[in-house]
Amino acid sequence: DEINHFIEVLKSHDGKPLDVKQPLSPSVSNNICALVFGKRYEYDHPERKFLDTNVEYEFENFSQTSSDTLFPWIRKIPFASKFLSHDHMGDVLKDYISFFQKKINEHKKTFDPSNVRDFIDRYLTEIDTQKEKNPGSTFSEEMLVSNIIDVFDAGSETIRTSIHWFVYSMAAFPDTQKKVQQEIMDVIGTERQPEYIDMRSMPYTHAVILELMRWKSIVPLDLVHYTLSDSTVGGYEIPKGTTIIANFWNAHHDPRYWDEPDKFKPERFLSKDGKSVVKSSNFMAFSLGRRVCPGESMAYLEMFLYFTSMLQKFDIVFPEGTKATFEAKLKLTYRLEPYLIRFVPKS
């Protein structure tokens, strides 16, 4: 179990300060590897490190607000590529494609449709099925590679960034941490591991997760879309072909819809008696409509299990003399600057 391995790594530090992102990144990455490849890697395995390095490069060097994203015509200017965010992205993508195609080829050598092992096997099965039923199907190995890239990019960076924020926030708000820990003791106790079904009985913990995603809006801006036809929205005329970037940060910090939006208040997602979660229609951490994030369920699953597993075993505190500053930078995700934290084993 990947989370158990992560917890054991935290225990090995004996409550001393550490950069939690160092064990967190490979742990979250391994969850995706298990889903896609049917295997986990040791933290220092070259293939796993290759995946993390590529994801890190993409999210550190690309932005929805880069000049060539907002104004694509700039790319046509001679020598402009030297100064654009996409300059080296093509090389990264080629390496990515080559790596995943190699994994697909390895799967094909041992592929047995009666024994589906992982996402790649399931997709290969669907390719064969669609060939018989629908010759014009878009299911192909090229689309499989594209899907795998999407899963790794979205499924690793957003989760680890969310957990990174959670750890920091629990140290910054010890009263909130104690409430979550009390709920863990009441519902789960100390003798068994947390399970996803437990979240139904843990409204405060659920509310903390929702509030964290609203308050820090890990993905402040949606991916770039464009209109397929002339449209009218809220009285505004939007021509066909217009670039659209939804501003989730603004939606989550609009005082018309959120009381004291800049404050961390998990209670805003709870009923008056605190016994159930009340999810606002203004909450859009996973986007809305037909383009809603397909990984929403998996994100809740991972965040809940990591959060509760950590707080079941540890008190999360800052090193002596450290104060919360919440220093962060905006890339594709809203990332905290590196920090040290202590995981003190609970007695």
**Binding site for heme: which residues?**
293
How far is the C-alpha of 59 from the C-alpha of 39, rounded, in Å? 25
- Binding-site positions read 293
